[in-house]
Amino acid sequence: MIKIPAFIIGGLLILTGIAGYLFQEPGLSIKITGPLAEDAQLTLSDGNQSHELDLGFASSDASGEHAYWIIYNLNLNHAKDASQGNYAIEQGATDRGYISKSFWYASSKGETMQALKQESDNFQGAGDGDPIEIDWANVDQNSSKVRLIYKEFANSPGPITLQASNWKNIDINPKPKPNEKIEFGTSWTAFIPGILGIILILLTLGADKFPKAHKHFMHAAVLVALVCFFVVTKMLIGAYSEMTWLKEEPYMIIHISSLKPTVMLLSAGLLLIFVILCVVSFIDARKNRQAEEEKKAKLKPVKKENQDKNIPKADSNDKKSNDSIDGKKEDRKDSKKPSIESKTSSSSSSEGKKTNSAASKEPTEKVARANEKKDTQIKPDISKDSKSAPSSEKEKSESKSDAPKVKRNTSESTQVGNPPSQNKDEAKKNSSDQRPSGSDSNEKPEKKISSENEKKSE
How far apart CA 429 and CA 423 sit, in angstroms, is 10
Q: How confident is the model at residue 303 (pLDDT cuts 50, 70, 90)?
A: low
Is the whole-model pTM more than 0.85? Answer: no
- Does the pLDDT value for residue 364 go beyond 70? no
Mean pLDDT (the chain) is 75
- Of 28-42, 149-163, 400-414, the range with the lowest mean pLDDT is 400-414
Q: Give the DSSP letter of residue 171.
A: E
pLDDT tens profile 425-448: 554 444 444 444 444 444 444 444
Examine residue 380 and say whether the peptide bond preceding it is cis (omega within 30 degrees of 0): no
CA angle in degrees (0–180, nearest 5) for 51-57-60: 130
How far apart CA 237 and CA 261 sit, in angstroms, is 8
Write out the DSSP string of 335-367: HHSPPHHHHHHHHHHHHHHHHHHHHHTHHHHHH
Residue 116, Cβ neighbours under 10 Å: how many?
Answer: 25
pLDDT tens profile 215-239: 899 899 999 999 999 999 999 999 9
Q: How confident is the model at residue 388 (pLDDT cuts 50, 70, 90)?
A: very low
Sheet with 181-183, side-by-side order of all strands: 50-52, 42-45, 161-164, 181-183
How far apart CA 291 and CA 293 sit, in angstroms, is 5
